[in-house]
Structure formats: C-alpha cells, structure tokens
Structure 1
Amino acid sequence: MTYEILPAARAGRVPFADGETWYRVTGDLESGVTPLVVAHGGPGATHQYLLSLTAFADLDGPARPVIHYDQLGCGNSTHLPDADPSYWTVELFLDELDNLLYHLGIADNYHLLGQSWGGMLAAEHAVRRPGGLKRLVISNSPASMPLWSEAASLLRAELPPEVDDTLRTHEEAGTTDSPEYAAAMKVFYDRHVCRIVSNPPAVASAFAALDANPTVYHTMNGPSEFHVVGSLKEWSVVDRLPEIDVPVLVISGAYDEAQPVCVVPYAKLIPDARWEVFEDSSHLPNVEEPARYVAVVESFLRGGS
C-alpha cells in the first residue's frame, strides 16, 4: 500500500542564521489537534522521502497537521556550499528547529518525529526538555555514531567479499567519488537502506538532491552511510537519554543499517520508551511498510492527543 502525497495547505520560508528554512504544512494548524513535526535525515538529505507522512492529515478521526521542513544547507532551504566546515553543528540544527516551532506558533504543543539523523537531532532536542514537546518518535536512528559504525561493520562483513574489497580500496585511497565505489555502495544500500528496488520516486529524489549538494553530508557524516569520517564521528547522546521526560516510540527495521546495537540504548535508557521493529523493512519503513508505519505511529501519538 502507498499513500498519496497530500498537497500543502501552506508553505513558506522563515529567516534563520545566514539564510532561510523552507517548510510546508499539511492540514490545519488551528484544528486543535497536536501537530507532528517531521525532521529528515542526512544530515543534508531533504524532506521528500518522508512526504508519505502527509497521510496523518487524512486519517479517520481528527486530522493531524503535519509539518515538513528542509534543514539549512539542503533542499528548498538556503544552500551554503562555501560555509566553513565548523559552521555545521548539532547546535545549529537544534536552533533551527526551535526557530521554526516559534515561527509557526506551535512551540507550546507539538509532537516530533525524527528519521535517521533527524532522530538523532530529535533526541538532542528532547534531552533539553522543551515544554511544548508532547511525544517523540525516534525512527531508524543510532544513539551514538561509534555504535552506528559498529553496526555498519557487522553488515559489511555480510557483503560479498569483492564488494567490501572495492569499498575498502577506495576508502583507503580517498577515491570515494569513484563510480566503482558508488556501485559497491548501492549493494549495501539495496540491502539496508531501502529494499524497494528501484527506489520509489520520493526516495530517489531525496538521494538525487543529496548527490547534487553533499556539503552538509560530507562535512558531518562522510562519503557514505557506513564510512563515517565527518564531525559526527564521535557523537553520542547515550549518557543523556535518561533526561528525556516524554513518551517515546523507537522504530527500526529488521534489515536496518540502524541495527539493534545502536538502537538499544534508546529503548533501555529513556524512562518511557517502547520499541517497534518492522520485520519487512530496512532503514525506511515509512516507504517499505507505509500502512503499518502510519498506523503504529498514529496509535502512539493519539495517546497524547
């Protein structure tokens, strides 16, 4: 089952830092139903692959407004390809999220769903105990990048030897922009990022946007999902997870690059957390099992209105 991407009720840009943050709103923010803010992955990907989540605004029962946005440096927001690498920090994106919440007038009442890097950002947001956050969904995200790299090593060991040899050869040589590296990388991605091959248009569009403008991704992550050499290499929120004081739904896929080793801390250390594994999905259960994904998330959110 797939969901039709609903049209935006409104879209706009809000000034932030050295540019503007683009956003779109599906549904009515004045409806009285707690809106869902969606933070995309990357860092440096775009909102496109999460547009199926506009479905929350068209379910039976009270329609839930949904806010998508592109983080600074990517998508429809301002691109800053010449910014110093030190510009791109977790704090920058936390401030951007706060700025958007206040601009939309929802800072006192909202749910937050973060996917992959967006979930890392969402966890960082939640440990600060913002007063308006009601419920949190951490989807397909690691609690630390060292644990993410550990999971990647386990999955790479299962690749055909010639594929991993190609990856290592180019990583050691610094030639990760090679077509050979891209082809070998795709073998991993087809197993552990999105198992729908060819990728759905929304997913393909997000990947294309990332390829066209990899500034933030290369700076903070690295050349691929499994070769993390950027500024996030040592990032961790593990020791701060007990500070999260709202109900949390943790999501991962059975074939996910976010393997249990890097997800378990969320489930164990957040006081009120539940963990749902999507057995037929990898890193994008929102497109691999969309009906179940929407049903599970909405059931959780309705517990907080």
Structure 2
Amino acid sequence: MPITVDSRFPDATTTGRLRTEHGETWYRVTGELTPGEGPAPLVVLHGGPGAAHNYTLMMANLSADGRAVVHYDQLGCGESTHRPDAPADFWTVELFVAELRALVEHLGIGDRFHLLGQSWGGMLAPEVVLADERGVLSLTICDSPASMALWLSAANALREELPADVQQTLLRHEEAGTTDSPEYLEAMQVFYDRHVCRVVPNPPEVTDSFAQIEEEPTVYHTMNGPSEFHVVGTLKEWSVAERVGGIRVPTLVVAGAHDEARPEVWAPFVDGIPGAVSHVFPESSHMPHVEEPEAFQQVVGDFLRAHDGGAR
C-alpha cells in the first residue's frame, strides 16, 4: 500500500495534558482516537532522554492510513513538567514506564496500541513491554542499543574514525570537564553530522529538540551525559539484552547504515526476541524518519498494518 509522504508533517488534531503525582505530561494526537475501531493507534517514545518529541514529528505521517499517532513529551522536557531540582534517583526507567502506561490509559487506548521507540525511546519501549505487555500489538525499535556497554563500544569505534584534531579536542575537554565549551560543541557536531542526522543543515524540528536539551539538560545530563558518545550518567550500566527473550509481541528493529547505533548494538533485539525482523536504511544515520522519510513510512507502515489485529 504505497503512501505519499508530505514534505513536512500534519498538524495535531488534538493536544492535552495528563496530570500525575509527578507533574503534567503533554501529548499531541494526529488523527482521531477511535478505541477498538480501524487501524490501531501508534504511540511514539522520543529519545534523549530528555530530547522532547519535536524531532520525531515526521512520524506523524504514519497517520496517512487512518491510524492516530500519539506523540508526547516525557517528564522533564519539552511541554511537560520540568523538574530541574529533582535528585538523580528520581529519573528512572520505572518512572517513564509508568508515565507511558498512565498516558495510554488516560487516552482510552490501553487495550490496543502499537509502540514505537526511537533511540532512548527504543530502550524504554522494551522495558514497557517487559513490565506489562497488555494491549501492545507490536513493538518498533528505531536506532537503539540493547545495552549501554554496546553503545559505548560502538561510539568509541566511530570516534576513532573522526579527524585526529577533532578526537583530540573531544578528549581534552572531556578530561578537563569543560564539555560546555564552544570548541567541544563544534567538535561534537562533526560526529553528529556523520552519525546522528545527515540532513545538514538539520530540519527545524530536529534543531528544536537539540535546542530544548541545551535549554533544559537535566534529564539528558543526569541519565546520559554531555553528548551521545560520552555517557557518564545513570544509564551507563543499563542493559535489557539478557531479558529480551521475554518479549512476545511482534517486533521490528530498524536503523541507518551510518547510524551511531551500529548493528552490534541492536543485534541482541533481533537475535533474542522471538520472530523479530530488521531493516537497515542505506542512506541514513540515526534518524531514518528524517533522512529517508518515504522509505521509513513504507517499512514501518507495512509492519503496523500487518499487526493491526485484536488486543493481546
């Protein structure tokens, strides 16, 4: 079923806020939520942690076949409640798993929905399924590692391919603790242009997410660190690799050929999840939904349509 993708993405049909004990979670729905009828809604988990939903907005085009697409900002970023004074141990995987489950129940789709996670979102999505697979028709993991140890190993290998002066600049500032230096940020951009988003200059929705991390870095710095390849935060020891065999929902794993998420970082998903399938986008890095939007729409859209059956 070929689908034509607009050069941008559709406007939100509705927006709203879910209030919980931890604050407010802002959400955006493209299309009409009709629980139990038609194509099942897709819920998108953004990356970061703390990157906000903006850079994933091209995925709203997956509503073209009549399914609703739900974006939201996880707690601590974007339009949701910011908690800059929260202690490091507030920001846990369990917090974000509970937030997702509360949101789908609030929207009335908790018994039938597809789940897609990009980058950190693709680390979170398997945790959601392992904690409670109720209502999850399928799982799509985009550009994500099964463990931070694998991610760091891949990042170090890619760093070694950077120009020598760029490597030296990165290392010098990391050792000095001056990763907020403009020189470090300039060197970091060399890596990002190769392995994060190869559409340069980046589209506005992508720069919006980067800008929001710069403005409110609490979650990203606490859980990850100062950059994609210098992970010193609370997720440094995270792994789901040894647990993915417990995932029983249909699973698609996608990545870009130039992705910072190299094949070895997502191989445990494909090897360990029963029946999992994968696809690599040849012209993309970490954001195939931005870099090859038509192909992304087709691959992911076909997968979702194939698993639009009843609730689990």
TM-score, length basis structure 2:
0.95
How far is the alpha carbon of 1:255 from its aligned partner?
Answer: 0.4
Separation in 1, partners of 2:8, 2:301? 17
Secondary structure of the 1:22 match is: strand
1:47 paired residue among 43, 53, 56 = 53
Q: How does 1:216-295 map to 2 (within 5 A)?
A: 216-295=219-298
Structure 2 residue 86 is matched with structure 1 residue 66? no
Secondary structure of the 1:25 match is: strand
1:207 paired residue among 210, 213, 217 = 210
How far is the alpha carbon of 1:129 from its aligned partner?
Answer: 4.2
How far is the alpha carbon of 1:128 from its aligned partner?
Answer: 2.6
How far is the alpha carbon of 1:102 from its aligned partner?
Answer: 0.6
Answer yes or no: is the 8 Å Cα contact 1:2–1:290 preserved in 2: no
Answer yes or no: is the 8 Å Cα contact 1:2–1:287 preserved in 2: no
How far is the alpha carbon of 1:273 from its aligned partner?
Answer: 0.4
Secondary structure of the 1:223 match is: coil
Structure 2 residue 14 is matched with structure 1 residue 26? no
Answer yes or no: is the 8 Å Cα contact 1:112–1:135 preserved in 2: yes
How far is the alpha carbon of 1:17 from its aligned partner?
Answer: 2.9
Matched residue, 2:161:
158
Answer yes or no: is the 8 Å Cα contact 1:244–1:270 preserved in 2: yes
How far is the alpha carbon of 1:2 from its aligned partner?
Answer: 5.1
Ranges in structure 2 where 5+ consecutive residues have no aligned partner: none
User: Which whole-Å deviations, capped at 9, do the CAs of 1:234-254 have from their partners, x for residues lacking one?
Assistant: 100001000000110000111
How far is the alpha carbon of 1:257 from its aligned partner?
Answer: 0.3
TM-score, length basis structure 1:
0.97
Answer yes or no: is the 8 Å Cα contact 1:39–1:122 preserved in 2: yes
Answer yes or no: is the 8 Å Cα contact 2:39–2:305 preserved in 1: no
User: Which whole-Å deviations, capped at 9, do the CAs of 1:80-108 have from their partners, x for residues lacking one?
Assistant: 11111111010000000011011001110
Structure 2 residue 44 is matched with structure 1 residue 38? yes
Matched residue, 1:56:
62
User: Which whole-Å deviations, capped at 9, do the CAs of 1:258-280 have from their partners, x for residues lacking one?
Assistant: 01111110110000200100110
Answer yes or no: is the 8 Å Cα contact 2:117–2:125 preserved in 1: yes
Aligned residue pairs, count: 302
Separation in 2, partners of 1:103, 1:32? 20
Q: Which amino acid aligns with 2:51?
A: A
Q: How does 1:115-130 map to 2 (within 5 A)?
A: 115-130=118-133
Secondary structure of the 1:299 match is: helix
Structure 2 residue 180 is matched with structure 1 residue 180? no
Structure 2 residue 107 is matched with structure 1 residue 143? no
Q: Percent identity?
A: 58
- What is the root-mean-square deviation of aligned Cα atoms in Å? 1.0
Matched residue, 1:11:
15
Q: Which amino acid aligns with 2:21?
A: A
User: Which whole-Å deviations, capped at 9, do the CAs of 1:48-91 have from their partners, x for residues lacking one?
Assistant: 111111111123xxx11100000000000001111111110100
Separation in 2, partners of 1:148, 1:2? 33
Cα–Cα, structure 1 residues 183 and 15, in superposed 2: closer, same or farther, change >3 Å? same
Separation in 1, partners of 2:21, 2:100? 12
Separation in 2, partners of 1:112, 1:87? 24
Q: Which amino acid aligns with 1:57?
A: S
Secondary structure of the 2:109 match is: coil
Q: Which amino acid aligns with 1:39?
A: L
Separation in 2, partners of 1:214, 1:154? 26
Answer yes or no: is the 8 Å Cα contact 2:6–2:61 preserved in 1: no
Answer yes or no: is the 8 Å Cα contact 1:129–1:245 preserved in 2: no
Separation in 2, partners of 1:146, 1:117? 14
Ranges in structure 1 where 5+ consecutive residues have no aligned partner: none
Show structure 1 runs of 4+ deviating over 6 A.
none
User: Which whole-Å deviations, capped at 9, do the CAs of 1:101-142 have from their partners, x for residues lacking one?
Assistant: 110011100000000000000011122342200001000000
Separation in 1, partners of 2:8, 2:149? 37
Separation in 2, partners of 1:185, 1:207? 13
